[in-house]
Amino acid sequence: MTPREQTIERPTSVWPWITMGVAGTVTFIASMAVGPDAVQGQLSRIMYVHVPAAWLAYLAFFVTMAASAMYLWRKDLAWDRRAASSAEIGVVFTGLAIGLGMIWAKPTWGVWWTWDARLTLTAIMFFVYLGYLALRRTTTDLNARAKRSAILGVLAVVQVPLVHFSVVWWRTLHQPPTLLKPEPIDMDTSMLVTLGIAVVSFTVMYVAMMFKRIELARLEDEITEMQQTADVPIAGEAVTAPALERGA
Amino acid sequence: MIENPPVARLDGVSVRAGNVQILRDIDLTIDPGDALGVFGANGAGKTTILRVLATLQPTATGSVEVLGADATADERFTVRPRIGYIGHVPALYPELTLAENLGFFARSRGLDESVAASALADVGLAGAADRRADRCSHGMQRRAEFARILVSSPVFLLLDEPHSALDADAVDLVDAIVHRTVDQGGAAVLVSHDRARVRSLATRTVEIEGGILR
Amino acid sequence: MIENPPVARLDGVSVRAGNVQILRDIDLTIDPGDALGVFGANGAGKTTILRVLATLQPTATGSVEVLGADATADERFTVRPRIGYIGHVPALYPELTLAENLGFFARSRGLDESVAASALADVGLAGAADRRADRCSHGMQRRAEFARILVSSPVFLLLDEPHSALDADAVDLVDAIVHRTVDQGGAAVLVSHDRARVRSLATRTVEIEGGILR
Amino acid sequence: MIGFGSQAALIARRDILRERRSGEVLWVTLPFGAIALLLVPLAVGTDAPMLRQIGPGIFWVVVMLFGVFISIRQTSSETDAQRDQLALSGLDPAAVYFGRALASFLFLLGFQLVLGFVTVVLYDISLEGWLILPLTFVIVAAGLSLLGTLAAGIVATGQNAAALVPLLVAPLSIPLLIGATQALEALQLGRSSLTWVLMMIVTVIVLAIAGVLSAQPLQETR
Amino acid sequence: MIGFGSQAALIARRDILRERRSGEVLWVTLPFGAIALLLVPLAVGTDAPMLRQIGPGIFWVVVMLFGVFISIRQTSSETDAQRDQLALSGLDPAAVYFGRALASFLFLLGFQLVLGFVTVVLYDISLEGWLILPLTFVIVAAGLSLLGTLAAGIVATGQNAAALVPLLVAPLSIPLLIGATQALEALQLGRSSLTWVLMMIVTVIVLAIAGVLSAQPLQETR
Ligand code: HEM
Ligand SMILES: Nc1ncnc2c1ncn2[C@@H]1O[C@H](COP(=O)(O)OP(=O)(O)OP(=O)(O)O)[C@@H](O)[C@H]1O
Ligand SMILES: Nc1ncnc2c1ncn2[C@@H]1O[C@H](COP(=O)(O)OP(=O)(O)OP(=O)(O)O)[C@@H](O)[C@H]1O
Ligand SMILES: [Mg+2]
Ligand SMILES: [Mg+2]
């Protein structure tokens, strides 16, 4: 078998980068434009990143779940790439929410971290999806990898409702839901609008990142595929005829 | 009269595991009535070829068709119960008696446990039916594997070193099972290092060397 | 010149397990230079006799003397390292590579790991030394067991179906090992169903039938 | 071919028979669970009101851990040869999954009953609202056996995959645990435990679906 | 023949290598232990002072249970063929026992360190008097690995003997547990923890003697 000449085209699309930049800028301007909170002062501006980051992590993990289910149904590796890309972005957003939360916690609660159901469960969510990404590195066979991670991708999503409702179930330090709850919303309109803008911008950013990441994932898979059809040693050639009677 | 479709056809099949290639570009057709002997050195890939034919081994390239079903598609599940595979290592549950092992197998095929009992008697193990599998000698366990074949009467036999560990009487049993399957229009593949015995049993033989069929 | 003491002597040995009797009143003497072939039906007790000779199987009655030691007394621990036993099932650690498996064995005898490497080369497995044992074919695992014998050069060889699973090249290896051991004044016991091959190798043969030696 | 239910029953019968012969749950896991319950008061101090408070929680944690262990051990002791033959048997992988889970379910129920008794004795638990317990026991046993069987299927597909097990077990056992502890507490506080029971039921359903969907791919990988 | 120490080291190296390949402790047992610690607060309620009180105790119970499990699993996965060859190898059964225990001891130390860290974070434990901890960790790891290895030896001799395991584990793990929890507490209350440390050391010595005496008979039975 002669090694085949194969090349991979370079990714060229730039618009996702532009979109991400614009969305980031919009979030920044909006959070600076709104007045400081009555109680929390300037600190409250953290919220416009902390909260959308957490929500977009939720969205990303739901997309991972849906794409994983689609993979299990259709056995199409494209769905696997979507699931993985979304999980990776979700991990970034979760990390952002945790990091900002910790920065926020130090001045308000006096500690970086504490025993709190939401904090703990958010951390578990973070680690479970980090584990999802680590798991993908343990196998090189694309289909086996896709199957395993799809199973995890579907099941891990139960984390999301757990994190969301944890503040209701264990009444502890963290803020209970102010927006995503059955009762009417009681929040300053300007803050609400700013939060809305931030959430929309984050969503746009998520979509743009998804496009870029999926493109990259496709190229990675192509490279893996090429490596796997490349020539490798024959297993049976490791075995030779025994050398009888050495020296004796 | 139309020609019979082949029992199995491999077309350009290769198998990889880790960073080695086990099988390369295997083309092989097995027709009804064939008893194919497969020879080759240790580690050449004989067991792997049997597992490919049993639809148990994922392949890297090529197409595998077994009993009319594409082995990479879901169709393989419908033909599997008609395949009889005996590997190097007995597949019995050690804590269960031989009768319980065979009974489990029979019932999984929708058959009665009495079928299992008579199969055990046919391989000469009636007296040991209530002995736990892990308290049976190695040859007795191999015999019990052949009883499994008698229970399900598969049309496609895949036997990995069928004569090893069996005493003279039991060896004849293997030959009888192969003959019966082949005579009824099935096919058998026999992997072995005992060329003399398999040559007398097989309708044709192939040699596998470093993952390539010769 | 005084006569050489026997390598092993069984005297009225019987073995029971649960509520069955596996061996009955076995008398057997194995002298230096003997290569004893043991034949018999499946389940007759051949493996059990090997384990008795390896001092691994507790006996119900009779006396067992191996390499001058009483096998029921603590003396057996001192002679065990000079016994080479290969059973039905390979005793390799599946997660370790062949080199690591043999290296462990060599070091347990106080030998260097290079001895293990050259033993692997001698059985034709130099190329697979770094392959995990559970990724080696059945025959390769059997070969690795014989490499163990080459590492420790035991004076008393106990081989259970030594030729099974080995290809034509490797089968000669077994014969060479047996010849070497016997020529150097050791002894070998070969349990097998392949009467022709063992007859040509053995200096004498016995038949075991329902736990009784004939 | 035999029906789905008979297939599952066949597998369950096989597993129960194997356990009866090996006695692993009975002689190793069950005593370990009981020892765990015994050690906690020795370790945290024998403060009666505090023990009464933490008793049910500790009980559920022990059930959870050992429960998953029981179901994992049950399945992952299968050899490659046995797996091959099972794949060739034509039994529906989903039926095999349910059959295995069914056997573990029965072991787990027994395990819960024994340990529950031990807990009540050792921790002096009030049994007010206990009528919810049989329901909780059944749901938790179902959830854990489905979870453990799924995890075991993953372990059996090769060593790399073993890393999946804790990842699956952590997120999925939490809703079961929370549901189990809160259902009784809610009732004792005079509130409805419906939400908790529903949450557990949803988890069990999710697990059953996941098990069914993954049964075939897991059987075919190794 | 090689010396006793080298024999034990050889066996320990083998076990460590096998674990490195299979990753069972790293990927299955360790995460399970961490999950256990995490589940307890969710199950017993998130009452910070109470958690601070029960934290160390829960930690030791988890270490105890998983510790014995780790050492049992390590040994009882051996096949009959492997056991036969080990018996023929001429290695001293007592050296084999210590070698196995040594490997488990190292796993257990790592296990304790990771879980200890998790406990401190989750339960907000005061580390006053922590200087006693390294000593306690080492003694407990030694005791549990000796105990688990002994139990595994019994399990490996055949099914009937397995019933003995709980009888062995319960009475011998209790002094270790009490010693471990009380040693730190005594120190924190300004009292001497010598008695407790001595009690643990005596247990370890008893276990070592029991292991040495039983090693050869256990190797020869099956
Ligand atoms: C390490 C610490 C923290 C973590 C891991 C964390 C995590 C989260 C998560 C996951 C959410 C999304 C909840 C949902 O809507 O389901 C959230 C929302 C929120 N967090 Fe945090 N947080 C942390 C610290 C803080 C701090 C210190 C504050 C302010 C004092 C804060 C205020 C909020 C607010 C106001 C929301 C929006 C609640 C809603 O409207 O639903 N967080 N946090
Ligand atoms: N614990 C036990 N309980 C009952 N029967 C047993 C037990 N252990 C061994 N046996 C029986 O002892 C007999 C002898 O076994 P052994 O393995 O020695 O046979 P063998 O001659 O080597 O047979 P083979 O040719 O099949 O290898 C067998 O019939 C076996 O079933
Ligand atoms: N996962 C793996 N990684 C590396 N090599 C592997 C793997 N699986 C199998 N092999 C190799 O594939 C080759 C073929 O194995 P196979 O069992 O088919 O041989 P075989 O012809 O049946 O040999 P034998 O006569 O010894 O039974 C062997 O050299 C084996 O070591
Ligand atoms: Mg083979
Ligand atoms: Mg035998």
Of A110 and B7, the structure prediction assigns the larger pLDDT to B7
Chain B interface includes C140 (CB < 8 A):
yes
- Show residues of chain E in contact with A114, CB under 8 Å: 124
Looking at all shown ligands, the one closest to residue B209's CA atom is 3
**What pLDDT sits at residue D121?**
85
Q: Which residues contact B78 (CB under 8 A, 6 or more apart)?
A: B69
Asked whether the beta carbons of C191 and C159 are under 8 A apart, the reply is yes
Q: CATH number of the domain at C8-213, please?
A: 3.40.50.300
Q: Contact A115/E51, CB-based, under 8 Å?
A: yes
Above 80 in pLDDT, residue E73? no
Above 70 in pLDDT, residue D161? no
DSSP bridge partners of A41? A37
Strands B204-209 and C35-40: unpaired
Q: Residue E179 gets which letter from DSSP?
A: H
Query: How does the average pLDDT of chain E come out, rounded?
Result: 85
**What pLDDT sits at residue A1?**
38
- When pLDDT is averaged across residues C75-96 and rounded to a whole number, the result is 93
DSSP bridge partners of C36? C189, C204
CA distance linking residue A103 with residue E103, whole number of Å: 42
Amino acid at site A98: I
**What pLDDT sits at residue A4?**
46
In this structure, the residues whose C-beta lies within 6 A of any atom of ligand 3 are: A 235-236, 238; B 17-18, 20, 22, 40, 42-48; C 131, 135-140
Q: Report the nearest atom of ligand 2 relative to the CA of C18.
A: 3
Shortest CB distance from A234 goes to which of B40, B60, B211?
B211
- Nearest by Cα to A124 from D152, E46, E42: E42
Chain C interface includes B49 (CB < 8 A):
no
For E176-196, b/e burial (b = at least 16 CB within 10 A) is bbbbbbbbbbbbbeeeebeeb
Asked whether the beta carbons of D186 and D129 are under 8 A apart, the reply is no
Q: Report the nearest atom of ligand 2 relative to the CA of B139.
A: 26
Quick one: CA dihedral A114, A118, A124, A125, positive or negative?
A: negative
Above 80 in pLDDT, residue C96? yes
For the beta carbon of residue B196, count every other beta carbon within 10 angstroms: 9
Mutate to test the interface with D, among E47, E50, E54 (most CBs of D within 10 A): E54
Shortest CB distance from B87 goes to which of D10, D84, D89?
D84
Which range scores top for mean pLDDT: A103-112, B181-190, D185-194?
B181-190
Helix crossing, B168-183 with B138-152: angle to 10°?
20
Above 80 in pLDDT, residue D29? no
Is A26 part of any domain? Answer: no
Q: Contact A155/D166, CB-based, under 8 Å?
A: no
By most ligand atoms within 8 Å of CB, the mutation choice from B14, B16, B21, B47 for ligand 3 is B47
- When pLDDT is averaged across residues A28-42 and rounded to a whole number, the result is 69
HSE at residue A120, side-chain half, CA atoms within 13 A, is 26
> If you measure CA to CA, which chain B residue comes closest to D84?
B56
Q: Contact E10/C108, CB-based, under 8 Å?
A: yes
* pLDDT bracket for residue B102 (50, 70, 90): very high
Q: Contact C122/A241, CB-based, under 8 Å?
A: no
The answer, yes or no, to whether any atom of ligand 1 lies below 6 A from the CB of A150, is no
Instruction: Return the biggest CA–CA distance within chain A.
Output: 95
- When pLDDT is averaged across residues A217-246 and rounded to a whole number, the result is 81
Is A84 part of any domain? Answer: yes
First to last CA, chain D: 26
By most ligand atoms within 8 Å of CB, the mutation choice from C14, C21, C24, C46 for ligand 2 is C46
Quick one: CA dihedral D152, D18, B117, C18, positive or negative?
A: positive
Helix crossing, E48-76 with D48-76: angle to 10°?
30
In this structure, the residues whose C-beta lies within 6 A of any atom of ligand 2 are: B 131, 135-140; C 17-18, 20, 22, 40, 42-48
Chain A interface includes C176 (CB < 8 A):
yes
- When pLDDT is averaged across residues B11-39 and rounded to a whole number, the result is 92
**What pLDDT sits at residue A3?**
43
Q: Contact C85/E220, CB-based, under 8 Å?
A: no
Distances (CA, A) of B175 to B87, B115, B194: 17, 21, 13
Of D52 and B123, the structure prediction assigns the larger pLDDT to B123
CA distance linking residue B140 with residue B134, whole number of Å: 10
CA distance linking residue B66 with residue B54, whole number of Å: 8
* pLDDT bracket for residue D15 (50, 70, 90): very high
Asked whether the beta carbons of E174 and D40 are under 8 A apart, the reply is no
- Per-residue model confidence as pLDDT tens digits over C117-128: 999 999 999 999
Six-digit token pair at C111? 């030998």
| Minimum CA distance residue for ligand 3 atom 31 | C136
Above 90 in pLDDT, residue E151? no
CA distance linking residue C157 with residue C177, whole number of Å: 9
Query: How does the average pLDDT of chain D come out, rounded?
Result: 84
Q: Contact B139/C42, CB-based, under 8 Å?
A: yes
- Nearest by Cα to C168 from C124, C134, C130, C117: C124
* pLDDT bracket for residue A5 (50, 70, 90): low
Six-digit token pair at E199? 């009690």
Above 80 in pLDDT, residue A169? no
> How far, in Å, is the centroid of ligand 2 from the Cα of B119?
20
**What pLDDT sits at residue A246?**
42
- Per-residue model confidence as pLDDT tens digits over D83-120: 999 999 989 999 999 999 999 999 999 999 999 988 88
The answer, yes or no, to whether any atom of ligand 1 lies below 6 A from the CB of A165, is no
Is A53 part of any domain? Answer: yes
Chain E interface includes A10 (CB < 8 A):
no
The neighbours of chain E, by the rule of 3 or more Cβ pairs under 8 Å, are A, C, D
**What pLDDT sits at residue E93?**
93
Q: Which residues contact B3 (CB under 8 A, 6 or more apart)?
A: none
Six-digit token pair at A64? 């991972």
Above 60 in pLDDT, residue B167? yes
Above 80 in pLDDT, residue C29? yes
| Minimum CA distance residue for ligand 3 atom 25 | B42
Chain C interface includes B55 (CB < 8 A):
no
The answer, yes or no, to whether any atom of ligand 1 lies below 6 A from the CB of A187, is no
Shortest CB distance from D210 goes to which of A139, A147, A154?
A154
CA distance linking residue C53 with residue E88, whole number of Å: 12
Question: The domain containing residue A132 runs over which residues?
Answer: 44-177+185-224
CA distance linking residue E158 with residue E160, whole number of Å: 6
Six-digit token pair at A224? 């893996």
At residue A189's C-alpha, the angle toward residues A184 and A190, to 5°, is: 150
By most ligand atoms within 8 Å of CB, the mutation choice from C97, C123, C125, C137 for ligand 3 is C137
Q: Report the nearest atom of ligand 3 relative to the CA of B88.
A: 27
Distances (CA, A) of A148 to A61, A154, D151, D162: 16, 10, 11, 11
Which range scores top for mean pLDDT: A16-20, A242-246, B205-209, E122-126?
B205-209
Query: How does the average pLDDT of chain B come out, rounded?
Result: 93
- Show residues of chain C in contact with E88, CB under 8 Å: 54, 56, 80-81, 83, 85
Of A232 and A55, the structure prediction assigns the larger pLDDT to A55
- Show residues of chain B in contact with A232, CB under 8 Å: 16, 19-21
Please state the ipTM of this predicted complex.
0.87
> How far, in Å, is the centroid of ligand 2 from the Cα of C23?
10
- Show residues of chain D in contact with B53, CB under 8 Å: none
Asked whether the beta carbons of A176 and A167 are under 8 A apart, the reply is yes
- When pLDDT is averaged across residues A147-169 and rounded to a whole number, the result is 85
Looking at chain C, the whole-number percentage of residues with pLDDT higher than 90 is: 89
For the beta carbon of residue A193, count every other beta carbon within 10 angstroms: 14
CA distance linking residue E10 with residue E8, whole number of Å: 5
**What pLDDT sits at residue D22?**
80
Q: Contact E84/C104, CB-based, under 8 Å?
A: no
Looking at chain E, the whole-number percentage of residues with pLDDT higher than 90 is: 33
- When pLDDT is averaged across residues D59-69 and rounded to a whole number, the result is 84
- When pLDDT is averaged across residues D159-164 and rounded to a whole number, the result is 66
Above 70 in pLDDT, residue D154? yes
- Nearest by Cα to B210 from B50, B14, B2, B8: B14
Which range scores top for mean pLDDT: E23-32, E62-71, E208-217?
E208-217
3-state secondary structure of B23: strand
Q: How many Å lie between the alpha carbon of D90 and the closest alpha carbon of chain E?
A: 30
| Minimum CA distance residue for ligand 2 atom 12 | C22
Asked whether the beta carbons of C160 and C88 are under 8 A apart, the reply is yes
Asked whether the beta carbons of B38 and B49 are under 8 A apart, the reply is yes
* pLDDT bracket for residue E184 (50, 70, 90): confident
**What pLDDT sits at residue B3?**
63
Residue pairs spanning D and E at CB distance below 8 A: 132
Q: Contact B61/A237, CB-based, under 8 Å?
A: no
Looking at all shown ligands, the one closest to residue C211's CA atom is 2
Which range scores top for mean pLDDT: A30-39, B1-10, D153-162?
B1-10
DSSP bridge partners of C29? C9
Q: How many Å lie between the alpha carbon of E45 and the closest alpha carbon of chain C?
A: 43
> If you measure CA to CA, which chain E residue comes closest to A121?
E38
Strands C20-30 and C69-70: unpaired
At residue D18's C-alpha, the angle toward residues D16 and D23, to 5°, is: 90
- Per-residue model confidence as pLDDT tens digits over A172-202: 667 777 666 555 556 677 778 888 888 888 8
For B103-121, b/e burial (b = at least 16 CB within 10 A) is bbbbbbbebebebbbbbbe
Q: Which residues contact D178 (CB under 8 A, 6 or more apart)?
A: A162, A169, D196, D199, E42, E43
Amino acid at site D68: V
Chain B interface includes D82 (CB < 8 A):
yes
Residue extents of the structural domains in chain C: 8-213
Q: Residue E26 gets which letter from DSSP?
A: I
